Amino acid sequence: MSKIVDLRSDTVTRPVPAMRTAIAEAEVGDDVFGDDPTVILLEKRIAELFATETALFVPSGTMGNQVALASLTQPGDEIILDRQCHIFNYEVAAAPALSGLQFNPLDGDGGVITTDDIVPHIRQRDIHAPVTRIIAIENTHNRAGGRVFPLDEMKRIRALADERDLVVHLDGARLANAVVASGIPFKEYAACADTVSMCFSKGLGAPVGSVVAGVNATIDKARRKRKQFGGGMRQAGILAAAALYALDHHIDRLADDHANAKRLGAAIDAIDGLDLVYPVETNIVIFRVDDGYDTVGNLLARLEANGVLAVPFGSDRVRMVAHLDVDAGDIARAADVLAGLGPAN
Ligand code: TLP
């Protein structure tokens, strides 16, 4: 049987041989003691790229988000965020469980919450009410099909936060995709937030690792939170080396993933009974499966039987993600398989 086309996520990428060489050759030390030269280099490199005071290497995107939220808030504070965002849906309720935050989820439009949406939800100071403290935004937005959160709207949110004494966290797990798709530099996005997280283990193709960046005072707290949450790492330079390799070699090529995702999206949309839910802007394709066509579970099983893997994204939706380990040929094959399957009987 030919190669499996694994479109479940861009997290499935495996380190390329040159990345493995960088891993093998990395200089390391004990990072909890602050001794790992490769981690230090990576954190400096990110601080330069994002134009933040400093940055912190963390094991995962979830931990990057959670140490940022924990560092910016007090238990009992409220966080305003889009109802479809990762922090609300896919982090096992970590923000309330670990930091005592109360969610105030808003119905954004395709993952985008605007200042008009947010303003009515900022609470007045009142002895009964939680303190609205933080706004979280996600760029690119996973459940909105990899949509790029518009910079202008991010700037308006930043201005509102300044005016109302709030802070902003940017879940930039796929910020590199936003940068490549929009041509807007990392630092312009980062300037809109107090803390920014980004993952190396998604489209950038590293095996493990994320980063969170911001001012020294916040990231010092985040470093303590990382330790408290069990994320202090020792000879983490082997992972930081992979991240540095990814920064050097795997950012520009995200454009190929975006082109592949667009081709796949167009092919899917051409099938009667399958509809793209969002226009494809980056590497994520989300489509709806009509009732009369198939169930999501059965369609995924039929795809798998034909060597194509995808994931359910809601009861009537499927997500496919283009990445480093699938080329244009694999994408064409996935599109052909899907077109060939037709409706279930
Ligand atoms: N997303 C994963 C799943 O958890 C859904 C995926 O396959 O897309 N923020 C965003 C926007 C993410 O998409 C993810 C991972 C994270 C944070 C968390 O990253 P990890 O998995 O490293 O904790």
Superfamily of domain 253-341: Aspartate Aminotransferase, domain 1 (3.90.1150.10)
Q: Atom 13 in ligand 1: which residue has the minimum CA distance? A: 142
Domain boundaries, the chain: 17-249, 253-341
Q: Atom 9 in ligand 1: which residue has the minimum CA distance? A: 173
11 ligand 1 Cβ < 6 A: yes
258 ligand 1 Cβ < 6 A: no
Cα separation, 1 vs 191, whole angstroms? 49
The pTM assigned to this predicted structure is 0.97
195 ligand 1 Cβ < 6 A: no
Cα(127) to centroid(ligand 1), Å: 36
Write out the chain's pLDDT in tens, 345 residues: 578 999 999 999 999 999 999 999 999 999 999 999 999 999 999 999 999 999 999 999 999 999 999 999 999 999 999 999 999 999 999 999 999 999 999 999 999 999 999 999 999 999 999 999 999 999 999 999 999 999 999 999 999 999 999 999 999 999 999 999 999 999 999 999 999 999 999 999 999 999 999 999 999 999 999 999 999 999 999 999 999 999 999 999 999 999 999 999 999 999 999 999 999 999 999 999 999 999 999 999 999 999 999 999 999 999 999 999 999 999 999 999 999 999 997
Q: Which residue has the tokens 């002895």?
A: 127
The encoded tokens of residue 227 equal 């330790």
CATH 3.40.640.10 fits 17-249, yes or no: yes
Q: How far is CA 172 from the centre of its chain?
A: 5
282 ligand 1 Cβ < 6 A: no
Instruction: Report the SS3 class of residue 191.
Output: coil
Helices 237-249 and 17-25: angle between axes, nearest 10 degrees? 140
Specify the ligand 1 atom closest to the Cα of 90.
4
138 ligand 1 Cβ < 6 A: yes
Cα separation, 166 vs 173, whole angstroms? 22
Cα(57) to centroid(ligand 1), Å: 16
Q: Which of 62, 138, 170, 197 to mutate to test the pocket of ligand 1 (most atoms within 8 A of CB)?
A: 62
Question: Which DSSP letter does residue 130 get?
Answer: P
CB 81 within 8 A of CB 121: no
Q: How far is CA 232 from CA 46, 54, 212, in A?
A: 19, 17, 14
Q: Atom 17 in ligand 1: which residue has the minimum CA distance? A: 61
Looking only at the bridges linking them, the beta strands covering 274-276 and 195-199 are unpaired
139 ligand 1 Cβ < 6 A: no
